[in-house]
Amino acid sequence: MCLRIIVRLGFKTQPIFLAKFDIFCYSMGVVLFYMYSQIDANKRKTFFLMAFFAVLLLAIGYFFSYYYNSLDFLIIALVISLGMNLASYFAGDKIALMTAGAEGPLKQTDNPYVYRLVENLAITAGLPLPKIYLIPDSFPNAFATGRDPKHATIALTTGLIESLENEELEGVIAHELSHIKNYDIRLMMVIIVLVGLVTLAVDMLWRSKFFGRKNSSEKTGGQLGGILMIVGLVLVVLSPIIAQLMQLAISRKREFLADADGALITRYPEGLARALEKINAYKLPMKKATNATAHLYLANPFGAQAGKGLAKLFSTHPPIEERIKSLREMI
């Protein structure tokens, strides 16, 4: 399409240039197509996850209520599921920032350089200016959070600001703005709370069984009772694992798209590629790195530990080398 437009406009170009330009335009078109598809998909996935985890908790609560002949467990599960969804949607960003030890929001007078970088790139991306927080950590890293572009926040570590050149820092900020634009932030924010609370709720229900009264004459006999007991135990054991696997599956895919979309904002893929190289060279983990929020960050916050053994297999991020290669193929 780009090639046809150039010919119609009457530009005199060399065949090699036309071929390269057409490939570039095609690549950008593919990125834009997937970007808008990702926005719709993320909105659907967010509400699907909230509904899925609510049903999962209610199923577990029903199992305990049936087996111990007490509605208390179902009521507890209902209260937890409602509170979990409300907290994940309206307070997930605050939980993520608090967990990371972020300080802010940043005012223009506090750090004019960072404030203007974020402001200019937000204008370029067509987004409202997000709140800016700083994380006092030497590990160069960043993340974005919030439920939508109007309620978004970007958090940057002090190590990131100190170690990156201007174009590299722009690449990182553009990457995070892409997560805001694509509504990745809402999906990943909800996951933080849901994954953590499902594990906590299952443990709470399991421990609270000691306070229930089992009616052995009605609930322990028969095939139905045995089947429900087996299903319930499977849910109790597998629900935290299912939650973690969903976290891993969703977070890996989005990084490549955010890298490409960020490169569209800055028009300079090499900036983010060089930033990722510097981040990859840093081996120490972040001071407040946790599994609950690891998927939010630009790079895995566990440093060199994330690339060893089973940690590499269950990493929330794709290998940085692959991301750098993809960015440089855009040049």
pLDDT digits (tens, 9 = 90+) for 270-327: 999 999 999 999 988 999 888 778 888 999 898 766 555 555 555 668 889 999 999 9
- Tell me the pTM: 0.75
Nearest residue to 80 via CA among 234, 237, 180, 208: 208
Residue 216: its pLDDT value, please? 45
CB 257 within 8 A of CB 208: no
Catalytic one among 176, 218, 277, 321? 176
pLDDT digits (tens, 9 = 90+) for 156-197: 999 999 999 999 999 999 999 999 998 888 888 877 777 666
Q: In 3-state terms, the chain is what percent helix, strand and coil (to 5)?
A: 75, 5, 20
Question: What one-character DSSP code corresponds to residue 301?
Answer: T
Q: Take residue 125 and report the two structure tokens written for it.
A: 């991306």
Distances (CA, A) of 272 to 171, 185, 327: 4, 20, 8
Mean of all residue pLDDT scores within the chain: 77
Does residue 20 have a pLDDT over 50? no
Active site residue 176: yes
CB 172 within 8 A of CB 275: yes
β 142-146/131-135 pair status? unpaired
Q: State how far the Cα of 75 lies from the Cα of 79, in Å rounded to an integer.
A: 6
Domain ranges of the chain: 19-53+91-210+240-328
**Half-sphere exposure in the Cβ direction for 26 (13 Å, CA):** 9
Hey, what amino acid is at 223? Q
Q: Which pLDDT band holds residue 83 (cuts at 50, 70, 90)?
A: confident
Does residue 21 have a pLDDT over 50? no
CB 129 within 8 A of CB 122: yes
Q: Which helix (H) or strand (E) holds 218?
A: helix 216-219
Longest dimension (CA), the chain: 90
Nearest residue to 38 via CA among 300, 261, 325: 261
pLDDT digits (tens, 9 = 90+) for 41-74: 767 777 777 787 788 778 778 877 777 787 887 8
CB 115 within 8 A of CB 137: no
